A and B are shown apart, each in its own frame.
Chain A
């Protein structure tokens, strides 16, 4: 193996270990890893820039701007309280309603943003009902990862896969992943009820206090809300049509964001930009450059060749290997760097003669997204909810989440294995 490749592997492993250890912020670590790849001449700057997927970054930034402005109107709080009232103030029904809202929101906004919007309103509703918030938060974490699986924009792994593989359009993701995500959610709901119903009992008086709430008061700016809903609707429509319009998903999201800023005026721009999660954006930049070192030195090609050797190039075995490996890895590692590494590996398998890559891509998406439910550190949404909850005096313990998340994750991966096999491999 060439010296450069050994350096690339060394940097990659050290950076990966530092990301897992969480001793230093993952963005700083990933950026340093990427910069080391350039500084040591493993990739030149031009090549490094070429490897940064601006479609992923543009899509994330565009959606963050649209959602941050829309959140200012009180829309998401309105939806949550409206759903709580429709649930007749019953905590079990509210738990289901909030989980479903989280799943649907995650599919069309992205799961990290959705949980950021759902957690504050969950604290508010559970305090009013005097029930513990943790069962609600755990179900929302799980629902966010399932909902995010359903679409191209729902979860960072899907954004990255959709961006890397041009044939996998927004509609392709919905056609291929939404049915299994919906099935998993349908199976999870009664399990949530069985697991948590005893912990979330309340009194008729507190139920009534939810029913008496005036959700219309939560809408703070009707004019802005109309603009946001119009732009959000057009943006989602744009995602459905992006292939026919010959536009990348990032173009659609950024167009939506800047049209909304044009409609709302300059005063919203500064605030909207401060709400973009720049740490996440730079984490992606660092990772893309870090992985580029492995690609350019041929390490990824070697790994792909070994995977093909292991499965004899059999698509069934390779798909199931990717599905389960992604799920287990994503349960205990950050799924974003894992997917960043797997994407070029699957592309390389295509170059090596594996003709039908489609089942492999869906296996990767299902494993990485649903695998995130396996532990509290499995996905960005999990860490964000756990952080917010802990700060408010309701820490979600690693083992506590594992007890619920891991068996549910295994169940979803078993279902996904059947789905992938019967839909693509039979």
Chain B
């Protein structure tokens, strides 16, 4: 089973690519407000837990983020994006 997701392309751009043992995401938030707040909350959630290398956030200008996600934390990361409404839907296929 694989996890797939959908997002509103008017509000956010998400690209992911495998990178060795990790998955690398490029996320650009196109609108201020709830999604920007949401991505910061996701960052806070993973920075405050006891694992330091599960999900690493790198912030760039214009609300662009690079996120390096360890494979074993992929599902947790996707669900955290969903929880903060950055994703519209998540499905096992």
Contacts and interface: CB of A to CB of B under 8 A. Distances in A.
Contact of A393 (B53, B60, B61, B68): B53
Nearest to A392: B53
A164 interface: no
B60 A127 contact: no
A395 interface: no
B26 to A, nearest CB: 11
A5 B56 CA distance: 55
A47 B3 CA distance: 64
Contacts of A220: 40, 44
Contact of A120 (B40, B44, B52, B59): B52
Contacts of A391: 51
A123 B52 contact: yes
A214 B61 contact: yes
A199 interface: no
A213 interface: yes
A218 interface: yes
Contact of B52 (A119, A128, A214): A119
A127 B59 contact: no
A323 to B, nearest CB: 37
A266 interface: no
Contact of A123 (B44, B56, B66): B56
Given A120-B47, A209-B66, A220-B40, A127 B61 contact: no
A392 B52 contact: yes
Nearest to B65: A217
A220 B37 CA distance: 11
Interface in B47-72: 47, 51-53, 56, 58-61, 66, 68
Interface string B15-58: 00000000000000000000000001000100100011100101
Contacts of B61: 212, 214
Contacts of A120: 47, 52
A124 B66 contact: no
Given A120-B52, A392-B51, A392-B52, A212 B44 contact: no
B57 to A, nearest CB: 8
Contacts of B66: 209
Contacts of B68: 127-128
A209 B60 CA distance: 9
Interface residues of A, number: 17
A120 B47 CA distance: 9
A213 B58 contact: yes
Contacts of B51: 391-392
Interface string A188-222: 00000000000000000000010011100110100
Interface residues of B, number: 13
A220 B45 CA distance: 13
A128 B58 contact: yes
Nearest to A216: B59
A308 interface: no
B60 A124 contact: no
A209 B52 contact: no
B40 A127 contact: no
A391 B49 CA distance: 13
Contacts of A212: 60-61
A234 B60 CA distance: 33
Contacts of A128: 56, 58, 68
A143 B30 CA distance: 42
B60 A213 contact: yes
Nearest to B61: A214
Given A127-B68, A220-B40, A220-B44, A388 B52 contact: yes
Most central of B51, B53, B59, B60 by chain A CB within 10 Å: B53
A123 B51 CA distance: 11
**Interchain residue pairs A-B with the least CB separation, the first 3:** A217-B59, A120-B52, A392-B53
Interface of A: 119-120, 123-124, 127-128, 209, 212-214, 217-218, 220, 388, 391-393
30 contacts: A119-B52, A120-B47, A120-B52, A123-B52, A123-B53, A123-B56, A124-B52, A124-B56, A124-B58, A127-B53, A127-B56, A127-B68, A128-B56, A128-B58, A209-B58, A209-B66, A213-B58, A213-B59, A213-B60, A214-B59, A214-B60, A214-B61, A217-B59, A218-B59, A220-B40, A220-B44, A388-B52, A391-B51, A392-B51, A392-B53
